[in-house]
Amino acid sequence: MTRFDGDKSPAFEIVEPAQWRAPVIFNSPHSGSTYPDEFLSASRIDLPTLRRSEDSFMDELIGHLSERGFPTVRVNFPRSYVDVNREPYELDPRMFTGRLPSFANTRSMRVAGGLGTIPRVVGDGQEIYRERILVDDALGRIETLYKPYHRALRRLINKVHQMFGTVVLVDCHSMPSVGVSRDEPRRPDIVIGDRYGTSCTPLLPDRVEETMAGLGYSIGRNKPYAGGFITEHYGNPASGLHAVQLELNRAIYMDERRRERSPRFAQVASDFGVLADVLATTVPFGDLGPFQAAAE
């Protein structure tokens, strides 16, 4: 396992179940909260401000699912340090001292917004760094953290695919309860993202919506979050690979200002268990394999 922050912490953790119930993987790529000392020293903003970008406690909300028969994945380094839900080289040349490799994507919308693979800003738009950082530092983070995570996730996906003939990746995130723009309407409790119907069979977001709405949650689809790199990259229904993103409103399970779990936290975690059980028992996984998907 790749380690970081002075070898004190694993970069990510994959927990496989003792007994597999279904080909459903629950992934939390943005809940990491272990901040390397050199990163904090280089930042112009304090730790509480940096932590605004975290999907705080999302890894805990899904962590118990491994005991129920589902593999879980959690990233321990913060997304403000390196974001695994981006292309490997979405990099802003304004951030770095030195020349970026020619294959870097310097013109994506995410780079323009300061939220590339090495983010320039935290979620509310505040600049992270006091001064430019070395290109070699950025490339080192990608080589030692980003790439090992994606290699491990691919291995897990391939293992599940070989075992069951299909895979469902549930990419779990959380969102601020209020958007940056005042014109944005009130956010629902959960936003389901399937890249506008391209990352998975329509059955999956439909089943998620039915289940969570039945538990009392308000549901949105694809706005403001349709799914990031992970959903887009690993979702390939024609190959039997299905990816769906869930964005949970933070006000549902935590005090956003104090960054503390709210009294409803345990219930929300329980509801994720209900969702996992529903997917395991009602989704016809035998119909989601590559041949069936390709014939639709």
Per-residue model confidence as pLDDT tens digits over 176-204: 998 766 677 789 999 999 999 999 999 99
Asked if residue 208 lies in contact with residue 246, where contact means CB atoms within 8 angstroms, the answer is yes
246 close to 190: Cβ distance less than 8 angstroms: yes
d(CA 112, CA 116) in angstroms, rounded, equals 8
CA distance 198 to 231: 10
Domain locations along the chain: 12-79+137-283
CB-count burial class (<10 Å; 0-12, 13-18, 19+) for 291: exposed
Residue type, 222: N
What is the predicted pLDDT for the residue at 18? 97
Which portions of the chain are predicted below pLDDT 50?
A: 292-296
pLDDT, tens only, 77-93: 999 999 999 999 999 99
Determine how β-strand 254-255 pairs with β-strand 260-261.
antiparallel
Q: Answer whether 285's CB lies under 8 Å from 166's CB.
A: yes
In this structure, what is the dihedral angle of CA atoms 78, 84, 86, 89, given to the nearest 10 degrees? Answer: 100
pLDDT of residue 293: 42
Asked if 81 and 51 count as a contact pair (C-beta separation under 8 A), the reply is no
User: What CATH class has 12-79+137-283?
Assistant: alpha beta
